[in-house]
Amino acid sequence: MEAKKFFYLAGLPRTGSTVLGEILNQNENIHVSPASPLSEIVSEVLTKWRQNTVTLKAYKHPEQLPNVWRGIRAGMYQHRPESCIIDKSWAWHMNDAIDSTRDILGEEMKVICTVDDIADCLASFIMLIRANPDYISYIDDYLRNMRLETNDANRCVAMMDPKIATSVGWCYESLKQTWLGKNRNNLLLIERADLVHSPQAVIEKIYSFLEIPELATWGDNQGHYFDSIEKEITEDDGAAYGIPNLHKLGPKLRDRSWKAKDVLGNQLFFKYKRLEFWRPKKRSF
The 10s digit of each residue's pLDDT in 83-112 is 999 999 999 999 999 999 999 999 999 999
Question: How many residues belong to the chain?
Answer: 285
Residue 223's pLDDT band, with cuts at 50, 70 and 90, is confident
Question: Residue 135 carries which DSSP code?
Answer: S
**Residue-level pLDDT at 239:** 82
**Residue-level pLDDT at 246:** 81
66: pLDDT strictly greater than 80: yes
Q: How many CB atoms lie within 10 A of CB 128?
A: 19
Bridge partners, 112 (sequence order): 9, 188
- Would strands 30-35 and 84-88 be described as parallel, antiparallel, or unpaired? parallel
Bridge partners, 10 (sequence order): 113
Q: How far is CA 102 from CA 105, 109, 237, in A?
A: 6, 8, 34
> pTM here?
0.92
- Quote the percentage of the chain above a pLDDT of 70: 95
285: pLDDT strictly greater than 70: no
Among 68-82, 215-229, 240-254, name the one with the lowest average pLDDT.
215-229
The predicted-structure confidence for 122-171, as pLDDT tens digits, reads as follows 999 999 999 999 999 999 999 999 999 999 999 999 999 999 888 999 99
**Residue-level pLDDT at 282:** 64
Pure H helices in the chain: 17-24, 38-51, 54-58, 64-76, 95-100, 118-131, 138-145, 152-159, 168-179, 192-197, 199-210, 237-241, 260-271
Residue 235's pLDDT band, with cuts at 50, 70 and 90, is confident
Domains within the chain, CATH numbers bracketed: 5-271 (3.40.50)
Residue 219's pLDDT band, with cuts at 50, 70 and 90, is very low
Residues 6+ apart with CB under 8 A from 276: 115, 117, 118
> How far apart are alpha carbons 261 and 218 in whole angstroms?
44
> How far apart are alpha carbons 23 and 271 in whole angstroms?
34
> How far apart are alpha carbons 116 and 8 in whole angstroms?
18
- Quote the percentage of the chain above a pLDDT of 90: 75
What would the DSSP string read from start to end of 13-55?
TTSSHHHHHHHHTTSTTEEEEEE-SHHHHHHHHHHHHHHT-HH
What mean pLDDT do residues 109-124 have?
98
